[in-house]
Chains A and B, each alone.
Chain A
Amino acid sequence: MLDPVYYRAATAVQLLLLLLIPIEVWLASAARIKAEYELRDTLANVGVSVGSIFFWGMLGWLYFGGVTFAYTHRLFDVPFTWWSFLLAFVLDDCRYYWWHRISHRSRWFWASHVVHHSSQHFNLSTNLRQSWTSQFSGLTLLNVPLAFIGFNPAVIALAFTVNLLYQFWIHTESIDRMPRWFEWLLNTPSHHRVHHASNPRYLDANYAGVFMIWDRAFGSFVPEQADEPVRYGIVKNLGTFNPVRIALHEYVSIARDLMRKNLSWMQRLGYFFGPPGWSHDGSRRTSEELRAVEAARRDRQPTIGASARPA
């Protein structure tokens, strides 16, 4: 097993990162940096975080059980060295990319992940707003292949922990852009602001955890544009700061859709696994449809402006 010193170090880093939240609040209130905090929103983040930790504690055995089972039946023995950790880190980051992409593209998984996107603010405390049901949605299975290859479960867990710790600092408006090479290679606040946007142009983009190469390779990279300020949140924003409603609202919505009368089984599957915004009667819009409508509107606007301009 992995030396516990790594876990102690990770825990210490995590605590230090949490300290950055009140520091960001203080600097923002002194107008030293750009950051917007709202009392109820921030407290809701803390409330959701407490629930998330509780349910992780209760259901974490699903993650460790699956990974340990796969490791018991592993193909190879990958030793724990610096290079094997780096390899595990890169492979796990690829796993994170696909976990994240699926979480946005299928409503059952979105119901779990939407919690993290449900704030209309974007600051370091947004890190705290995490899903209560991540262990239960089924995507934990994506952790199995690395263990099956032969990476020690402790190495996989450490790689994932470092990945999540990296992502803490990118939840901020206080950093504009990093150097060009950095923006190309790694996830940054700018890229992640786009990911948290509800503007149609920015929907379902920048899924990366650490390395932006996955988004660039798989066609989901969208840069932040100066002419399109980010609007944080989801397309249909929440009208509540109640942590229970924040954590479960999409499941309630799915249940209501499934209980509709006169739906075929395929239509019910569509409401369950289809992309967010899918509907059997076209009464809602998916990300692609929202983007198409927005693009058509943009195309119309210059024409109207040109005709209205005086000669």
Chain B
Amino acid sequence: MDRVELTEQQKKARRSRSVALAIVLAVLAVLFYVVTIIKVGPGIFNRPM
């Protein structure tokens, strides 16, 4: 069974895309967390169940 082998350049490009995506996701997670606190306020954890 033949499998597609990526060239070195393609592997390098994929790594670059993966790292960029990881950074973007991490930044978004932090931003959404901070905005939630700002929008809802410190009382976010103090809600009736």
A and B associate: no
* A contact residues vs B (CB 8 Å cutoff): none
